[in-house]
Amino acid sequence: MKALGLIAFTAATALAGAASAATYIVDAQANSSSGGVGVTTINLTAGQNFTVSVDPNDLWSAGALPRWSNADGLTHDTFATGTDESGQAAGTLIGTDFGTWTQANLTAPFGTLVGEINGVFHVLGTSFSGAAWDTGTLELFYWDSNNGDNTNSITAAVGTALVPEPAAWGLMILGFGLSGAMLRRRRAAGAIA
């Protein structure tokens, strides 16, 4: 009985906290929303929670200076560090606010990492955590009007939290009940001795 309770509790806890994640390379030219194809990632169900994260120091470019940005897009002045992907000397202006691009249902800054499910785009940027807006495959794009002079790529980590099935919840409740029964039995045995 003790072993069964421990197994049920461990299995249910593991299922409740399990998650899956993978990394994907998104290229500014090959995966541009204009002239490229999206990076196919994971299948999602509408309302399913997922995350996307990109190192804010990972840069890509929409063309000639100053058009380098991270996955949040060309929204502000960005200066070279001397060791970043731009290859420019430290202090050189490599990115600036370049405005927005409208395509399909979305208006977003040039150079933004966006996700698309069934033709509907959403901004993901360097850090996204939220629910899938439709059921289907999430594809990742570099948001741009012309991919001809885009360069470099970023690495995006895409993950989902697995929601326990009803059977897993049942096992978890059973595990808690059995654990409580074992504690009561130990206390009762300790009080008699």
The verdict on residue 192 lying in a domain is no
Beta-carbon contacts of residue 70 (< 8 Å; ≥ 6 apart): 54, 55, 56, 57, 58, 59, 60, 78, 126, 154
Helices 2-17, 166-192: inter-axial angle, 10-degree rounding:
140
Rounded to whole angstroms, the Cα distance separating 130 from 160 reads 10
Q: Say if 95 falls within a structural domain.
A: yes
Q: What angle do CA 85, 143, 97 make, to 5 degrees?
A: 70
Domain count, the chain: 1
Report yes or no on 131 lying in a domain: yes
pTM for this entry: 0.76
pLDDT at 3: 46
Asked whether residue 9 is domain-assigned, the answer is no
Report if residue 123 sits inside a domain.
yes
Low-confidence residues of the chain, pLDDT below 50? Answer: 1-18, 165
Per-residue pLDDT tens for 134-151? 999 999 999 999 999 999
User: Residue 177 domain-assigned?
Assistant: no
- What pLDDT score does 191 carry? 62
Q: Reduce the DSSP state of residue 7 to 3 states and report it.
A: helix
Task: Print the domain residue range for 79.
Answer: 19-161
How crowded is the C-beta side of 88, counted as CA atoms within 13 Å?
18
Residue 6's φ and ψ, nearest 5 degrees, are -65, -40
Considering the domain boundaries, does residue 8 fall inside one? no
Residue 12 within a domain: no
